[in-house]
Amino acid sequence: MQHVTLRLRTAVAALVLLAASPATAAEGVPLSQLRQQTHFHGLAVDPTDRSRLYLATHHGFFLLGADGMATRVSQVQDFMGFTPHPGDSKILYASGHPAGGGGLGFIVSTDGGATWTQLAPGANGPVDFHQMDVSPADPDVIYGAYGNIQVSRDGGRSWSETGPSPEGLIQLAASPASADRLYAATRVGLLVSDDAGATWRTVAFDTEIVSVVRGSPGGRLLAFVVGRGLLGAAESDLANWTPLGGGSTDQVLVHLAIDPIDANQLYAITYDGDVIASADGGTSWRRFGAP
């Protein structure tokens, strides 16, 4: 088990260093083929058809069908950060960089990812947010990490820095309960900020690798901890976490999406590039698109 944990720590520590060769996928490519051609940086449930998923990648934006086929929606840039608007199904947010380098700033799509426009360059931008999230408590509040933590309080039109990013940051998640509360999955535990990222404290899994944190409807948090799996806790009681499953302990989840209608329907991207689905809140999983 020790050698497995060491391998996983090395793998998760290298998340931000991944590089991909140019993708050659065309419309209707099998997901199993797409994962060989690019890296996946985010996913969300398509609110117009909840059997489908949005997939943000290193080489464009895709729509995943229930049959496991991936259709390219746009090939504008590398989507490093991606998050849907929690209340308006027409709005998608992203960040990243074009093929030539630099930053895209904070970009928005209102047509399902087909076209994207820069809403703002961000503070000291154009930014390249690798971690970002929209507050479910107040969707005008949006967070991103670009060296420091940045916050927008007007729907992404203007940005300011609040404080340094936590050590070993892997993922950000805005609290479902408070617009000023922000969680950070890091290589040294699960952290929380109650002042929009100005200061941080550890709330769980001190010194452990937390690769995913995500707020769930009903005031619940989900976190994936390397060597433990997927766990859940009430946001009001973060001292008590319940194991939910999440596959074997050597399978690392790096992105998690929750169906906005059915919180037991989960989707995840693994470090190895698999897209998996659970219909029972994370107890059991299958490959997305598999019968």
Does the pTM surpass 0.75? The reply is: yes
Q: Where are the domains of the chain?
A: 2-15+27-287
Q: Of the ranges 12-26, 119-133, 233-247, 254-268, which one carries the lowest mean pLDDT score?
A: 12-26
Neighbours of 114 (CB within 10 A): 12
Q: Of the ranges 21-30, 141-150, 252-261, 262-271, which one carries the lowest mean pLDDT score?
A: 21-30
Give the integer Cα–Cα distance in Å for 155 and 56: 21
In this structure, are residues 236 and 202 in contact, taking their beta carbons and an 8 Å threshold? no
Neighbours of 267 (CB within 10 A): 21
pLDDT of residue 219: 86
Neighbours of 230 (CB within 10 A): 26
Q: What percent of the chain has pLDDT over 90?
A: 74
pLDDT of residue 255: 96
Residue 11, helix vs strand vs coil: helix
The CA distances from residue 57 to 13, 64, 259, in Å, are 19, 12, 20
Establish whether the linkage from the previous residue to 84 is cis, with ω within 30° of 0.
Answer: no
- Mean pLDDT of the chain, nearest integer: 88
Confidence of residue 99 (pLDDT cuts 50, 70, 90): confident
Q: State yes or no: pLDDT of 196 exceeds 90.
A: yes
- Cross-strand partners of 81: 95
Q: State yes or no: pLDDT of 156 exceeds 60.
A: yes
Q: What are phi and psi of 23, to 5 degrees?
A: -80, 145
Give the integer Cα–Cα distance in Å for 267 and 286: 10
213, 186, 119, 259: CA torsion to nearest 10: -10
Q: What are phi and psi of 258, to 5 degrees?
A: -120, 130
pLDDT of residue 75: 73
Confidence of residue 28 (pLDDT cuts 50, 70, 90): confident
CATH code reported for the domain at 2-15+27-287:
2.130.10.10
Confidence of residue 22 (pLDDT cuts 50, 70, 90): very low
From the number of C-beta atoms within 10 Å of its C-beta (0-12, 13-18, 19+), residue 278 rates as: buried
Neighbouring residues of 35: CB distance < 8 A, sequence distance ≥ 6: 273, 274, 275
Q: State yes or no: pLDDT of 16 exceeds 60.
A: no
